[in-house]
Amino acid sequence: MSGESNYMKYFWAKILDETPLLVRRRASYYLENFRKTSENEWVVWSSGGVQYTVKLAGKKVTCTCPYFQEGRGYCKHIACVAVNELVKLDYVMGKA
């Protein structure tokens, strides 16, 4: 178990903790509508097929959706990515 893995687990858990419950609940609808496109970038599709890009740059995560762009906080797309990354980290860390 590396220090980087522990940090990322803490990072994504903190993101979810700072995301309102209603937004986290809405994120559950997107758990199968995303794809990792690079090391620090994901695409999440809305039910209408609109694509939003979630990016991780250092200690900052952003999304191209209107909710996040309007400064309303972490969105359902970021929460979706956070949940998936935590699941992946638990799986990898459990195998270490």
Q: Over the stretch 35-57, which tens digit does the pLDDT of each residue have? A: 999 999 999 998 788 999 999 99
What end-to-end distance do the CA atoms of the chain give, in Å?
6
Please tell me the predicted confidence (pLDDT) of residue 96.
45
pLDDT of the chain, 96 residues: tens digit per residue: 577 888 999 999 999 999 999 999 999 888 889 999 999 999 999 878 899 999 999 999 999 999 999 999 999 999 999 999 999 887 554 544
pTM for the model stands at 0.89
Strand spans (E) along 1-96:
34-38, 41-45, 51-57, 60-63
